[in-house]
Amino acid sequence: MRDAYIVEAVRTPACRAGRGHLAQTRPEDLLHCTLEGLIKRSGMPKDGVEDIMIGCAFPEAEQGLNIGRIAVLKSGFPVSVSGATINRFCSSGLEAIVLSSLRVMSGISDVTIAGGVESMSLVPMGGNTPRPDPALAKENPDTYISMGITAENVARRYNVSRQDQDEFALESHRKAATAQKDGLFTEIIAAVATVHRETENGSHVKETATVREDDGIRGDTSLEALAKLPPAFAAPDPSVPNSGSVTAGNASQTTDGASSVLIASEEAIAKYSLKKLVKFIDYVTVGCAPDEMGIGPAIAVPKLLERNKLSIEDIKSNGLMELNEAFASQALYCAREIGIGEKKYWASGSDECILNNSGGAIALGHPLGCTGAKLSSTLFANMKRLGRRFGIVSMCIGGGMGAAALFELAE
């Protein structure tokens, strides 16, 4: 089986749902920005791409009707280029990268594009018309449990305190603010945002604006400010340690965004004079109890390392990890279980920081189906910048799952 290489990876800025700069921008327009940017940066001709797979957690309404195929037509690819939509909830974008890489490895395709998109402003979490199975909901209601309650469960069951969660959240914002200030988000492609404005006579006009930066980073926040925020999902119970500890400040932001990744075989790289960035190595998915879905990475990452005859020491010495911060409680628990829970591995300014070293979803947002591709694009940029050999992307997944993928810096 041949190798699959990531040639280029880009993303739009991640902007707050409802209140951010991309709140009125349709998801296919977000994808269009990343696809055009990907082609321009890589130098890959559109007619050489064979398939495009796009992850989306709630593929309906504005992001329905197979947005993977719509993105092909929206962005001027030849009609011969096929498209698909992939859904593994929070890992959808990563799943798209893996499936596209496997196409290349198997010889089905020579050049593919993978990515993810989510407009949480236009399509609400849970979808517009959720209809749970009544019998399943009665027999196993945790199938449809609130993600916030799962974060509370993890905090209580695994002793993750409110102070620990707030401290982890603070470091996420500090790392992201530093990365933004120092221009380290080189994977960002400017997005053309849609803005609808009401004129003085009551009519509406459609305008556009260019968005170049993530807009959810709060570099000036503090532990004191975070400590004042009320619980978002459960009231504290004095008899239950660490209850009522998950807040809007130590949870991921709902976000709009898109990301695209170009994947090619070695033969195609030579044919089109492309440059290798990283090589896809392996991917695992695991299941866990739905009511503590956040622990998924704590199971997936060790399995991934063991299967590839690596240890967490290899990652500490010559690697980086992007672990999605769905909630500080689960991200911190997973980091502890994986072996990188000490603050030096995730604190801003630490020479040993390998976990989310440009900040995570608490500061930068979690655009659901886009997140796996978004985290990958950030990871690849940092692997190249820092010269780290190994990179891992991992996340928990609604419904009780975890996913983790391993990449290696190309020679």
Of 33, 90, 288, 370, which is the active-site residue?
A: 90
Nearest of 266, 213, 261, 252 to residue 365 by alpha carbon: 252
Nearest of 307, 365, 361, 335 to residue 164 by alpha carbon: 335
Distance between CA atoms of 86 and 200, rounded to whole angstroms? 43
Identify whether the C-beta of residue 271 lies closer than 8 Å to the C-beta of residue 178.
Answer: no
Known active-site residue 366: yes
Sort strands 401-409 and 278-287 into parallel, antiparallel or unpaired: antiparallel
Known active-site residue 90: yes
Task: Detail the DSSP E strand segments found in 153-277.
Answer: 191-198, 204-211, 255-264
Residue 38 backbone dihedrals phi, psi, to 5 degrees: -60, -45
Total count of residues recorded for the chain: 411
Angle between helices 92-106 and 371-386 (to 10 degrees): 70
DSSP code for 218: -
H or E stretch covering 359: none
Give the DSSP letter string of 43-101: ---GGG--EEEEE-SS--GGG-S-HHHHHHHHTT--TT-EEEEE--GGGHHHHHHHHHH
Residues 6+ apart with CB under 8 A from 127: 58, 60
Task: Detail the DSSP E strand segments found in 308-379.
Answer: 319-323
Of 15, 334, 366, 370, which is the active-site residue?
A: 366
Known active-site residue 15: no
In three-state form (DSSP H/G/I as H, E/B as E, the rest C), the secondary structure along 273-297 is CCCCCEEEEEEEEEECCHHHHHHHH
- Using DSSP's 3-state secondary structure scheme, residue 380 falls into helix
The residues assigned a catalytic role are 90, 366, 396
